[in-house]
Each structure stands twice: as C-alpha cells, then as structure tokens.
Structure 1
C-alpha cells in the first residue's frame, strides 16, 4: 500500500508503557505466566498466576497497551547487572555461559551496569495472528463485544513483538549502554537483520527452550541501520518512553542502581 506507515498505524492502536509501579509490573508478570506457564508449559504453575524470577529485581520492564480497550497485549524487560553487586547475573550467564564464543566477544570485558539482556518477551495469544486464522472470524471467548478487535487492529498484531523489541532497545539507548544481549532462535535473528538490527552471534546454538543462541547488538547499531519504517516506529516508541521516564545514564557514575519500585516487587 503506497504511503502506508507501519509506525503511524501501530501508534494509532498501541502505546508503549514503562512499568513505573509495582502494579504495572504485576501486569507484566501475569502476561508472562499466561504465555510461559499456561500456554507453553516452560514454567511451573502457581496459585498467584504470575511468573517472576530473581532477575526482575534488577530490570526495567515495559508493557504494550492496546489503546481502545486498555488491555496489555505484551511485555518485555531489560535486565541490567548492577556493577556493585557482581553476584547478580544475567540469564545467559546463569544458563548458557558454556556456549559463549569468547573469541567473538568475551562478555567479562564489558562494564557491569553498562550493558544488559533483553528477555521475557511475551505476547498474549489473543494478540497473535496465526496462519490458520487469516480467513476465519477472530472472536475472543468470554469477552464483551466492545473488546473484540477489528481487522484493521489485527493487521498490527504481527508487529507487536518488534515494537516490544524496539522498546527494549530504546531503554538501553537511554541508559547509554555499550550493547545488549538477546537469547533467540537463528531464524528470529534473520528477521531482525532484515529490519536493520545487525546482531552478532556470540554463542553456539544450545538447547534452551528450543535451539537458541546468544546474540549481541552493539550500541552504534541500536537504530542506525533500521529501515525507514522501523526507524519511524523506533522514534515513536522512544519519544513515548521519554515522556514517562528519565533513566539512569551508565556513564554518569558507571553504576546501575536498582530502582526502588523494583525492590521486593512481589
């Protein structure tokens, strides 16, 4: 469609939201539980129906809100290892260090507090457009008619994940990080490469919820090579986040301090 703007269309229906309160962070935990425990079975069930881990105490969290209904469609987090607490590890350091290609990048040389890992991307199943649903009515069970989604809204569902990724990148850029890590499938990396995110593979493929590898994106590539449509979307997301928060710049005193709202969040 000539002149069609993914960014403007996406912004019409969704908005990025920084989880600035424990209540908002709980919304992210609920989404994660729905996807990682209920749907995929990767995490154990619990009566609270929230999914958390120790990394949440030293991470920034974002939600994606569906404007019309106020429903949170998905979430993502940027985990930052505090420099003053070396025992706080990133997920890849806890589970995948044996697969690291140190000849490509020795992560021990990176400044603690000056880099992070994007993880726990989760999108509710009701906001995913599956191949077999393209020609069928998309009706959500047990919801009010005014919370059903129009065809125009559903057109944006495939862009939710990339919108959340760009939110994580914007957080890292606002913190002046030297780079970010992502544990992902190689086919997802190929898709991100097409968008203009030239991740370097710094780990061998390993069995971590499927075949995945560790990838690293350097600061200079956070948004410089994004294609025109994705750069427009990044700018909208970054602008929205800047109206909500002022993040700690790593270069200010070379430390990362855990935000007070994230201490003992449960």
Structure 2
C-alpha cells in the first residue's frame, strides 16, 4: 500500500449523494463556491441558496467528506448519457467548440460517454489547510500572498476570482486526485467508457505528470474562466496513471477495485 493511498483513506470519505438530504448538501456547496465565492453564476438566480440545473436529474453526485471534522468539503457530478435519446446534448457540446475530427459524437459513443461537471473543493477548506501550514505564531499572510493581493487590487472582482480559481486549480493537485477517485467510482457503476470535461488547460498539463490528463478536442474559450473541451478514454487514462504514479492509481481505483491496472 502506498503512502498516497494510506493518506487518502485516513483523510477522506467518498459518499454518493443518493438521498434528498445529501443532494441538498451538494447544491449548497455549489451555491457557496460558484455563486458566492467565484461568482460564475448569479446568486440572485438561486434565492433558496441551492445551485441546481436541468442536468442534475440525469446525473450522479458524489460528496467528499473530510474525516477529521466530518464536514463535506467537495463535490463532483457525472452527467450521464440519455440512453433513451442519444440526440441529447451534454453541456460541453452546447457551450464549447468541438472539433468533429477529434471527437465523433455518434450514438454508439455517446451511449457510454459522461461529462464530468461541478467539480469543486471548498475554498474555505483549502484556506484552512494553508493556515495550518504556517509557522506557529505567524498571523500574517505569506509574502507570496501579499504580492498577489497587491498586484490584483485594481483588477475587477470577477477577473481576480477567475485568476484565483486558476491558481487554486493548480495548487490543489491532491484534491483533483480525490475528486477523480469519486468520478471513477461513478464511472464504473454506470458503465461509462469516455469522459468529457471542460478544463483549465494549465490544470490538464499539470495532472499529466501523473497520467490524469485528457486529450483536447477543441480550442480554448472563456467558459467560467479559460476552459478547453477535453475527452478522456477511461481505460487509457487509468492505464497511464498506473504506469506513472502507482499511488495515484491506488487512490483512483481503490487499489484496483474499480478497474484493472492493465488495458483490456
């Protein structure tokens, strides 16, 4: 057992949001992050404090629970194919530009394709982790934090928060791994073979060191920040991870419970 897997098992639980109460927690987290913190979505559209959309009914949702506190600190959903209507589009197909040469969305492919969406870790949780890493008695922000703040004081709030999100994405590689572990569990449960995702290109490059990167299928656009549409072939991604970072593979697959380490 790798140290990475051992740390993951001691720190996090992955819990499917399969009840009304758990889904409410999912929607509350999404509201706090996407509407209040990053302001990607207007809070006024969600007066009940629950960020929901029309794709939630054809999605499965997972929550990340931090074991030491018992609090839910992250969530991700997998938008499933509409197998009764293969013409149904995914959000990525409607909001990005897909090169048909790179992604052939025929009925046979879409039947086994799902979109990774609403992928988040609470910024408050990450902030507490950074605070705990400060030397004892140090109540001041780090020099790098001061520099970033000073450099962005005159930048509009939404632009600052887009940049903050990009920096947070790059900083939270371990969180990306945890959320992808949740994605893998939902993927296996619903017989998914292909992943779609709109992702920050910098994050996709970063996770490539562990083999978790996807293949670009269109240009970069401004879609809740700089995003690019990507396609991941599930077995190919997990096979790369098993070769490049076995600890990450153990986390993603629960030590092989959710896949085989070799390509079929």
TM-score category of the 2 structures, normalised to the smaller one: 0.7 to 0.9
Q: Which residue of 2 aligns with 1:135?
A: 134
1:219–1:122 Cα change, 3 Å:
closer
Separation of aligned partners in 2, 1:14 and 1:104: 36
Separation of aligned partners in 1, 2:62 and 2:253: 16
1:131–1:60 Cα change, 3 Å:
closer
Residue 129 of structure 1, CA deviation:
4.5
Residue 237 of structure 1, CA deviation:
8.1
1:207–1:108 Cα change, 3 Å:
farther
**236, 246, 249: which one aligns with 2:254:** 236
How many residue pairs align between the two structures?
A: 221
Q: Which residue of 1 aligns with 2:157?
A: none
1:70–1:131 Cα change, 3 Å:
closer
**Alignment of structure 1 residues 100-139 onto 2, 5 Å:** 100-108=98-106, 110-129=108-127, 133=131, 134-135=133-134
Residue 173 of structure 1, CA deviation:
2.9
Residue 206 of structure 1, CA deviation:
0.9
RMSD over aligned Cα atoms? 2.8
Separation of aligned partners in 2, 1:170 and 1:183: 20
Q: Which residue of 2 aligns with 1:95?
A: 95
CA contact (8 A) 1:119 1:182 kept: yes
Q: Which residue of 2 aligns with 1:79?
A: 79
Alignment deviations for residues 6-53 of structure 1 (CA, whole Å, 9 cap, x no partner): 211121021101111111111111111110001011112133111111
1:224 match: secondary structure: helix
Q: Which residue of 1 aligns with 2:18?
A: 20
Separation of aligned partners in 1, 2:134 and 2:55: 41
In the alignment, structure 1 residue 38 sits paired with structure 2 residue 16? no
Residue 56 of structure 1, CA deviation:
0.4
Separation of aligned partners in 1, 2:220 and 2:128: 27
Q: Which residue of 2 aligns with 1:261?
A: none
Residue 117 of structure 1, CA deviation:
0.4
CA contact (8 A) 2:195 2:232 kept: yes
Q: Which residue of 2 aligns with 1:258?
A: none
Separation of aligned partners in 1, 2:237 and 2:182: 11
CA contact (8 A) 1:167 1:238 kept: no
Gaps in structure 2 of 5+ consecutive residues = 140-171, 260-264
Tell which deviates more after alignment, 58-67 or 79-88. Answer: 79-88
Q: Which residue of 1 aligns with 2:180?
A: 165
Q: Which residue of 2 aligns with 1:48?
A: 48
2:77 match: secondary structure: strand
1:128–1:80 Cα change, 3 Å:
same
CA contact (8 A) 1:65 1:73 kept: yes
| More helix by percentage | 2
CA contact (8 A) 1:173 1:219 kept: no
Separation of aligned partners in 2, 1:131 and 1:13: 13
Question: TM-score by structure 2 length?
Answer: 0.75
In the alignment, structure 1 residue 225 sits paired with structure 2 residue 221? no
Residue 132 of structure 1, CA deviation:
7.1
Q: Which residue of 2 aligns with 1:62?
A: 62
Separation of aligned partners in 2, 1:66 and 1:238: 23
